[in-house]
Structure 1
Amino acid sequence: MRSIYFLAFWAMGLLTVSAQTDFRPGFIITHSMDTIHGLLDYRGEIRNMRICTFKNSPEEPSKEFLPGDIYGYRFNAGKYYVSKEVDTEALKETVFVEFLLKGISNLYYYNSLNYRAYFLESEDSGLLELRKNEIEIEKNGKIFTGEDNRYLGILSYAFSDCPEIRKDVFQTGLTHKSLIDITHKYHDYKCSDEVCVIYEKKLPVLRIEWKPTIGYAINGIAFNNSEYEQINSDIEQVDFRMSSSPLAGLGINFIVPRWNEKLTFLVNVSFNKDYFYGTQFQRHPGYAINSYYHINNDNLLSSFSLKYTYPKYKFRPEVFAGVYGQSILNSHIRFYLERAFLNSVYTSEENPELFKKFSGGITGGLGLEYVLLNKFRAFSNFSILYGMSLNTYEMETVFTSFRLSTGLTF
């Protein structure tokens, strides 16, 4: 139970450390269009649209700007945000929007936990919302939920003075690339003396990193609530020694840059062999019973964790928490029983099935990454796993594991 509480604290810790700052070079733009260079806190798309945290130098304290306090801010050669007053049915407030394209019509993007939209802006129309809206359709007495494409009608209205792109308008998707392409095309047709500026920093929707791993595992087992009649021994009283063995595996790190580059989803698959040795000695008047267990398991373990990596410096601490599942690929169990009565010893051997093929639980740990080259990073981490399962004899099997791993990320 203590392990469950311990790992639960790790999960809570992930939410806390995700608020760590990540200052990167950039500048703010005042309402008088003055540019002040310094450092901007990068926290991911949604937070960047709520608040701007800026400081002039690493030594100075930071200052926060809300939408409307400044004209905008930009990371060097990166994302560009400006203050805009949005007045739609779903959102009525001043926010930071991402500036995607500047031309005859400007293109912006906004995203929050419950609202996502693009905006077109021109001198004549102001801000036009481009968004898919949920609709309900009744068919055969049943209600179906879907999305409409009314944004295409708004696009057609905004670009109605350019019939050359009318066909392209109705093939436009509600994505960064598609909307930038059509707005850029409209600008090229309507304006020949000014260049259209694209501010968007192209980030992949998903980035994958590979993490080959080697390490060492120290594992333990225990049994509870035994009603095991085939063996004349209370197996929950058996003292099993910890198993120690090397492990090898592969991790896959899934990164969503537009959401948060520091919080990632980590999948690990590893293989190891366990050997557990347990004994029990019972002494009674006139006789004795000695029990010996030899358990050999081949394990394939998969874990699924949310991982936070502090992004600064060459040495980067990380913390992760999640769940795991373990499959026993092969299990060989030998049970020896010695009964000593007077001057005679009687022995027997059995091969019981003590485990189900699958068990699961929770995991958490700490680690450290070291930047070697731009595309390679070394890492080491320590993790704890805790889980349980019921076997065919309705015994509760408790698994614990302490693992030290190292490898490369690329």
Structure 2
Amino acid sequence: MKYISIFFILFCLSITLNAQSNYKRGFIITNEKDTIMGLVDFRTDRTNSKICKFKKSEKAEEQVFYPKEIFGYMFIDETKYYISQTINIKDKNYDVFLEYLVKGIKDLYFYSDETDNLDYYFLKDEDGKMISFTKEPDKIIDNTLKKDDKYKRALNYAFRDCEAIANNVDKVDFGRRSMIKLTEKYHKQMCSPGLECIVFENNYKKKFTKINLSLYSGTQFTDYSFGMEKLVQYKSVQCLSPVIGGQFNISSPRLIKSLSIQADISLSSLRFENDHIWDSSTFGSTTYEKFKFKTLITTGELGFKYTHPNGKFSPTIEAGISYSILSDASNSLYSESIKNGPRTIDNYVSPPMHYWGGYGGIGLNYQVNKKHVVFCRFIYNRMSYLSTKINGVGLKIGYML
């Protein structure tokens, strides 16, 4: 496992040494209400509420803005809009960037607070009065589950001017989707016919977890050690075979753009034959043996992959655990001597079918366009079961769909 450890150390160092950013098309709004188009760093909800990193273009210098320094900012494709506000939580004032969920007759905002680890919603009416509400985690008291439903009373009060909405807040979950839908229904009820009362609405259906599917083929060099006394003369055999496979990469660019969880499955074969001549002083004869072995190897890998975030060409490092299954295995031993003549023993040995281990790899991605990538990967895989070992080195060339 020494090589796997080296890969893992390099992997961690790469994450530490490379600062993360996730710039998306957007704009900032100055305190003078001027709009400046450019790129905005798209991070987690809590990071977005504290800071805005902005560049006028890909190669421009990064500018950093804090609440009150600008009026707000927006991500265009993600339809996420933030404005600078002073809020009060537990009798303390905070300057933050509130996420605008609905802008209309009543404005709905969202804020995630790291101090008490709670989510907050804010409703502001036409007079500028703001109501906040949150939900404490469920608790078990005296073997009874206690739920915090105080937010429903706050909603009832906030929408008291619309009886149809106020009377149905008991059915509302404490979630972004539910809050946006409730506010949207309020506007439909209160809006005059023919008028559009919602100026902006957050696209809550958009998901920010990225999933990529890749297919690849290549070649695999396998060193297989039986570790069986019956095959002491064939301690290690080697085979070069084609390999095909596919992989899923799941990432959250808002959290760490360059890091993904990778699941990989591949199919290769192990096929060889080896012969041996040995002299038996006991029986006074020479024996010729030929051992044949073939099997299919299905390998699954689960680990982490780091991709350097900048440029058309991006180096990658990956490491994780691996698991292989041998299937359709068969083997035979042919022997021939002057004294005993020829004979063949089918299924001479019964090798283990399951192997666990680890893998590490390096590679290079080429960005064809915004969605598609061509890549090559060099992978080292080491697995074992008791004294039987599989060591593999592979070259895989593929395409990210």
Greater CA deviation, 167-176 or 356-365? 167-176
Q: Name the residue aligned to 2:202.
A: 200
Correspondences of 1:13-92 after superposition (within 5 Å): 13=13, 15-16=15-16, 19-78=19-78, 79-88=80-89
By how many angstroms is 1:273 displaced?
0.7
Correspondences of 1:347-362 after superposition (within 5 Å): 351-353=347-349, 355-362=351-358
TM-score, length-scaled by structure 2: 0.78
Cα 1:6–1:70 shift into 2, 3 Å = same
Amino acid at match of 1:388: S
> Retained in 1: the 8 A contact 2:155–2:166?
no
2:232 is the alignment partner of 1:233: yes
Q: Name the residue aligned to 1:216.
A: 219
2:135 is the alignment partner of 1:131: yes
Q: Name the residue aligned to 1:366.
A: 362
Greater CA deviation, 345-354 or 188-197? 345-354
> Retained in 2: the 8 A contact 1:308–1:320?
yes
CA distance in 1 between partners of 2:294 and 2:246 (Å): 23
Cα 1:375–1:8 shift into 2, 3 Å = closer
Cα 1:88–1:208 shift into 2, 3 Å = same
CA distance in 2 between partners of 1:36 and 1:208 (Å): 31
Greater CA deviation, 76-85 or 243-252? 76-85
User: Identity of counterpart residues, as a percentage?
Assistant: 27
Cα 1:291–1:158 shift into 2, 3 Å = farther
Greater CA deviation, 298-307 or 22-31? 22-31
Q: Name the residue aligned to 1:251.
A: 247
Amino acid at match of 2:356: G
Cα 1:53–1:406 shift into 2, 3 Å = same
Amino acid at match of 2:106: S
> Retained in 1: the 8 A contact 2:123–2:131?
yes
Q: Name the residue aligned to 1:332.
A: 330
By how many angstroms is 1:128 displaced?
0.8
Cα 1:290–1:2 shift into 2, 3 Å = farther
Note the alpha carbon deviations across 1:187-243, whole angstroms, 9 max, x for none. 3444547732235245226554432322221222336xx6x55x27376xx2423x2
**Structure 2 counterpart SS, 1:233:** helix
Cα 1:133–1:177 shift into 2, 3 Å = same
| Coordinate RMSD, CA, aligned | 4.0
Note the alpha carbon deviations across 1:282-338, whole angstroms, 9 max, x for none. 889998898765432211112223334456555454443322221112322345678
CA distance in 2 between partners of 1:38 and 1:331 (Å): 59
Greater CA deviation, 278-287 or 118-127? 278-287
Cα 1:95–1:262 shift into 2, 3 Å = farther
**Structure 2 counterpart SS, 1:170:** helix
> Retained in 2: the 8 A contact 1:213–1:250?
yes
Correspondences of 1:255-404 after superposition (within 5 Å): 255-256=251-252, 262-276=258-272, 293-310=291-308, 314-335=312-333, 351-353=347-349, 355-372=351-368, 376-390=372-386, 395=387, 397-404=388-395
> Retained in 2: the 8 A contact 1:101–1:196?
yes
**Structure 2 counterpart SS, 1:133:** coil
Q: Name the residue aligned to 2:103.
A: 102
CA distance in 1 between partners of 2:135 and 2:61 (Å): 39
Greater CA deviation, 123-132 or 182-191? 123-132
Cα 1:332–1:171 shift into 2, 3 Å = same
